[in-house]
Amino acid sequence: MTVKWGVIGAGGIAARRTIPEGLAASDRCELAAVMDSDAGRAQAVAGKFGVPGWYTDVDRLLAHPGLQAVYIATPNHLHKEQAVAAARAGKHVLVEKPMALTLADAEAMIDACRQNDVKLMVGYMMRFHAHHRRLKQMIDAGDLGQVVFGRAQLTCWYPPIPGAWRQDPVLGGGGAYMDMGTHCLDLLEMLIGPARSVAAHARALTHSYSVDDSSTVLVEFESGAQGVVDANFNIADEVSQNVLEIRGTRGAVYADHTIGQDSGGDMTAYLSGGAKGYDATQARSGGGAQKIVVERTNIYRAEVEHLSDCIEQESTLCIHDVIPINDGESGLHSLRLALLVYESARTGKVMRLNA
347 pLDDT exceeds 80? yes
Percent of the chain with pLDDT over 70: 93
Q: Looking at the structure, do residues 179 and 67 belong to the same domain, yes or no?
A: no
pTM here is 0.94
Q: Looking at the structure, do residues 269 and 138 belong to the same domain, yes or no?
A: yes
Q: Is 95 a member of any domain?
A: yes
Number of domains in the chain: 2
Residue 278's pLDDT is what?
45
Q: Is 355 a member of any domain?
A: no
216 pLDDT exceeds 70? yes
Q: Looking at the structure, do residues 61 and 207 belong to the same domain, yes or no?
A: no
Q: Looking at the structure, do residues 141 and 279 belong to the same domain, yes or no?
A: yes
CA-to-CA distance for 232 and 230, rounded, in angstroms? 7
Q: Is 352 a member of any domain?
A: no
Q: Looking at the structure, do residues 26 and 100 belong to the same domain, yes or no?
A: yes
> Whole domain around residue 132: which residue ranges?
126-295+336-347
Q: pLDDT digit string (tens) for 43-95?
A: 999 999 999 999 999 999 999 999 999 999 999 999 999 999 999 999 999 99
Q: Looking at the structure, do residues 157 and 288 belong to the same domain, yes or no?
A: yes
Q: Is 179 a member of any domain?
A: yes
Question: In CATH, what number is assigned to the domain containing residue 71?
Answer: 3.40.50.720
Q: Is 194 a member of any domain?
A: yes
- Catalytic (active site) residue 97: yes
Q: Looking at the structure, do residues 319 and 261 belong to the same domain, yes or no?
A: no
Question: In CATH, what number is assigned to the domain containing residue 177?
Answer: 3.30.360.10
Q: pLDDT digit string (tens) for 119-166?
A: 999 999 999 999 999 999 999 999 999 999 999 999 999 999 999 999
> Span 89-117, mean pLDDT?
98
Residue 279's pLDDT is what?
56
177 pLDDT exceeds 90? yes
Catalytic residue (one of 4, 48, 91, 97): 97
